[in-house]
Amino acid sequence: MNSQLSLNRLPNSLAIIPARGGSKGLPRKNVRPLGGIPLIAHTIRAALNSCIERVVVSTDDDEIAEASRQWGAEVPFQRPPEFSGDQATSLSVLLHALDYMMEVEKYPVDHVVYLQPTSPFRRAKHIDEAVQKYLETGAHSLISVTGVQEFHPYFMFTLEESGMLSPLYKMEKRPLRRQDLPRVYRINGAIYISQSGYYQNLPPDAAVFDWNSLSAYVMDAPSSIDINDFLDFKQAEWLLEHQSGDPS
């Protein structure tokens, strides 16, 4: 990695951290203390210590907004109700924040970095390395991924109406040992980066990244923990207690 990148801000880059108040899987998870600080603070701290120029939290919740400001993020607007319910999509939340920053604040965004607060072990160095990869490849988008450890698609099936299992992948000879399996990856939800031009004239069911011009940044499994429920949170607490090094 070019170390100069981490020392300078990437011009016209915007980190958007989505954090609504109505979490059902783990109520109030975005402000729930993890390692003595709100969950969202881990993502804010990582973003502020990275090469991203501006860090904005999109929320409909006053407590989340106050905590975000205390940890240094910008909260320039309150997310409207139509982008805060269960039916709101990640794309609609992103587009609302992007439009506000470009149209109201007149901030010329070239690079959008979407950082979900449920990934507390995604650090500044991960963001910087992902940005470096994104710039080097020239792809319209980049997503972070991690290697599939247990649930390899070679051993996945669909269930027919007859009750019979049908392999997801048809092949003459199926590997039986894990070490013989091809390496595959899954999206870990930690980092999404796209050129702002990708978001022009998208259909409402589009992804927050461009499937047709997509590169990847590989993260290890512990850094890829995504908190959706109580068990995820307890796993994160255990890992935080046993890890070493700078958490930023």
At 247 the pLDDT is: 53
**Active-site residue flag, 174:** yes
pLDDT tens by residue, 194-218:
999 999 999 989 999 999 999 999 9
**37-53 exposure pattern, b = at least 16 Cβ within 10 A, e = fewer:** bbbbbbbbbbbbbbbbb
At 151 the pLDDT is: 84
Question: Is the predicted pLDDT of residue 7 greater than 80, yes or no?
Answer: no
| Ranges of each domain in the chain | 3-146+185-235
Mean pLDDT of the chain: 92
| Residue of 9, 69, 174, 186 with catalytic role | 174
Q: What is the DSSP string of 204-217?
A: TT--SS-TTSEEEE
At 73 the pLDDT is: 98
Residues 244, 84: Cα–Cα separation, whole Å: 36
Residues 160, 113: Cα–Cα separation, whole Å: 41
57, burial (CB in 10 Å: exposed 0-12, middle 13-18, buried 19+) = buried
227 vs 149, residue with greater confidence: 227
**Reported pTM:** 0.90
At 5 the pLDDT is: 45
pLDDT tens by residue, 56-90:
999 999 999 999 999 999 999 999 988 887 788 99
Confidence label for 123 from pLDDT (cuts 50, 70 and 90): very high
Confidence label for 23 from pLDDT (cuts 50, 70 and 90): confident
At the topology level of CATH, where does 3-146+185-235 sit? Spore Coat Polysaccharide Biosynthesis Protein SpsA; Chain A (3.90.550)
Question: Average pLDDT in the 115-143 region?
Answer: 97
- Helix ranges (H only) for the chain are 3-7, 39-48, 62-70, 90-99, 124-137, 230-242
